Amino acid sequence: METKLTVAISLGSLVLAAIGGLIVRFHLGRRRADRVWAAARYPKLKDVGTVKHLTILPLIDRYTARDDLVGEPGVSYLVRADDTTILFDVGFNRRGEHPSPLLRNMQALGVTLEEVDYIVISHLHLDHVGGMEYQRRRTFALSKEPLNLEGMTAFVPVPMTHSTARVEVVEGPRVIAPGVASLGPIPRQLFFFGWTPEQSLAVNVEGRGIVLITGCGHSTIQRIVERAEMLFDEPIYGIVGGLHYPVTASRGVKFGLPVQRILGTGKWPWTPINREDVEAGIACLQRRHPQLVALSPHDSCDWSIEAFRQAFAGAYQDVLVGEEINVVAD
């Protein structure tokens, strides 16, 4: 009995120590993220240029526009900005398949890897880099079997590697193609996932303004918008992608726990993202009068999506695999 009690006390002590460590790390990380944000003052981006036609084709997301396409809890968008084609994130491939859902959807939609000029990874999380294995190895994969990406450049927000692609770390805002820029990494401390720098794309559509493309939006819509306004004189025309608003439910549940509400939040686990957070995000966008709002369902619940739909009425579009979102120059 004494042995069992000793073991129980030891295990309890280890658990408490681990929780205490997470609490301290989270507290210090949030303070660090605030300091980094306050110090990140950038001049306007020069010589960005414009595009006349932008299309965003979801290749991986939760919902699909057709029955022959595969939905999964990850993100991958094909961004066509005039003559430049960018693969923004590479999905989850939760079952480790080959060909992956991404490759199968690409084939069904007539998209070939040869037409892709660049890859952009928003942040180093499993549902954006092809799975947990690749997150651990600090790399990315489009499918379980390796693909030859020789000659292709991948822009990433943290040091990563790839066996064939040329990998370039984005350390701050920069132009990556005519009319297309990265806002640069904006870090946020997540309770379980830790330090998470995330970059978003900004596409300058002639006569319209800036279209923002986000992965998860962990850095918050407020900071994404403020960074865009710091870098551009043009107004924000729209935003497409994830903003992490799993308010009433999580898309993923493990052991009965709402995983997204706990793991992906920049708040304390016992004070998860709530309706007031969504309303604050909506209000932030409403002050900019966007003409396009499309919220990804991969990390936001249906309640949040409906709240955005009602708030932005005719400007709102659903994010569906296989359904293009188009913005044409004025």
Read off the pTM.
Answer: 0.94
pLDDT of amino acid 289: 98
Sorted by where each begins, the domain ranges of the chain are: 1-34, 45-328
What's the CATH class of domain 45-328? Answer: alpha beta
For position 58, what pLDDT does the model report? Answer: 98
Query: What is the Cα–Cα distance from 98 to 133, expressed in whole angstroms?
Result: 15
Residue carrying the six token digits 């996932």: 193
**What pLDDT score was predicted for residue 262?**
72
CB-count burial class (<10 Å; 0-12, 13-18, 19+) for 185: buried
Q: What is the pLDDT along the chain (330 residues), one digit of tens a residue?
A: 667 666 556 666 666 777 788 899 999 999 999 999 999 999 999 999 999 999 999 999 999 999 999 999 999 999 999 999 999 999 999 999 999 999 999 999 999 999 999 999 999 999 999 999 999 999 999 999 999 999 999 999 999 999 999 999 999 999 999 999 999 999 999 988 899 999 999 999 999 999 999 999 999 999 999 999 999 999 999 999 999 999 887 666 665 666 677 776 788 888 888 999 999 999 999 999 999 999 999 999 999 999 999 999 999 999 999 999 999 999
Q: Which is it for strands 118-120 and 153-156: parallel, antiparallel or unpaired?
A: parallel
Distance of CA 66 to the CA centre of its chain: 23
pLDDT, residue 250, reads 63
Residue 236: strand, helix, or coil: strand
As a whole number of Å, the CA-based R_g of the chain is: 20
pLDDT at 141: 98
Tokens found for residue 273 = 């993202």
In sequence order, the β-bridge partners of residue 257 are: 254
Rounded Cα gap, residues 107 and 12, in angstroms: 51
- Give the pLDDT of residue 271: 86
Structure-block tokens of residue 313: 């009425």
Q: What is the pLDDT of residue 19?
A: 78
